[in-house]
C-alpha cells in the first residue's frame, strides 16, 4: 500500500519557482528544493522524474500562470495591454524580471524541452506585442518597439546579479 501524498503538484511548483529563479537551474540542488517545498526527496521523485523534470514543470507552470496571451489579447488591442502585462510581469511572484528570461543565462545547460518552452514563449510574446503595437498605428516600426520589453526583462535580470553577469562575460 502506498502512502498518500501530503502535497499538491501546483504547491510544489509554486515553491520551486523562486528557488530556480534565484539560484538558477545548475546551482539549485535537490536539498534546496526539499527545503523550499517541504517535500522530501522520495516525494519529489514520486511526482517528478528528476530535477530537470521539476524545472520544466516549473517553467511551464510559470508561463501558464503569467497569462500573457489573455492579457495581451484583451480588446481593444493597444498600449493598455502592453502596460498591464509589463506592470504585472515586473513584480511577478515577488521577483524582478521574468523567470523565463532570467533562465536564459543558463541556456546552454538547460534541458532541451526547457529551451523550447522559452523560445515558444518569446515567439508568442513578440507576436502579441506586435498585434498591440500595430493596433496603435505607431509612427515607429512596430518590430523595433516590440524588442523593447525583451531588453527590459533582460536588463532587470542582469541588474539583479552583477557578479554573475561579469562571470558570464569573463
pLDDT tens track of the chain, all 170 residues?
Answer: 556 678 899 999 999 999 999 999 999 999 999 999 999 999 999 999 999 999 999 999 999 988 889 999 999 999 999 888 887 776 666 776 678 878 888 989 999 999 999 889 888 988 998 999 899 988 888 777 777 766 665 555 454 443 444 344 34
Phi, psi of 111 (to 5 degrees): -60, 145
pLDDT of residue 150: 63
Domains of the chain: 9-161 (1.10.357.10)
Measured distance CA(113)–CA(130) in Å, rounded: 26
Measured distance CA(145)–CA(78) in Å, rounded: 13
The count of C-alpha atoms lying within 13 angstroms of the C-alpha of 89, restricted to the half-sphere facing its C-beta, is 28
pTM: 0.80
What is the number of residues in the chain? Answer: 170
Distance from the first to the final alpha carbon of the chain: 54
- For 156, the grid coordinates are 532587470
Amino acid at each position: 500500500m502506498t502512502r498518500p501524498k501530503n502535497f499538491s503538484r501546483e504547491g510544489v511548483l509554486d515553491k520551486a519557482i523562486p528557488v530556480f529563479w534565484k539560484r538558477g537551474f545548475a546551482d539549485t540542488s535537490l536539498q534546496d528544493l526539499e527545503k523550499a517545498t517541504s517535500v522530501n526527496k522520495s516525494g519529489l521523485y514520486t511526482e517528478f522524474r528528476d530535477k530537470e523534470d521539476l524545472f520544466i514543470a516549473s517553467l511551464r507552470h510559470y508561463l501558464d500562470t503569467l497569462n500573457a496571451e489573455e492579457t495581451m489579447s484583451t480588446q481593444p488591442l493597444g498600449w493598455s495591454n502592453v502596460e498591464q502585462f509589463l506592470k504585472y510581469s515586473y513584480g511577478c511572484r515577488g521577483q524582478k524580471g521574468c523567470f523565463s528570461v532570467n533562465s536564459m543565462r543558463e541556456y546552454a545547460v538547460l534541458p532541451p524541452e526547457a529551451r523550447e518552452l522559452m523560445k515558444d514563449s518569446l515567439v508568442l510574446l513578440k507576436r502579441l506585442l506586435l498585434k498591440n503595437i500595430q493596433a496603435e498605428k505607431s509612427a515607429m516600426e512596430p518590430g523595433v518597439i516590440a524588442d523593447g520589453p525583451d531588453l527590459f526583462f533582460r536588463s532587470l535580470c542582469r541588474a539583479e546579479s552583477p557578479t554573475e553577469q561579469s562571470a558570464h562575460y569573463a
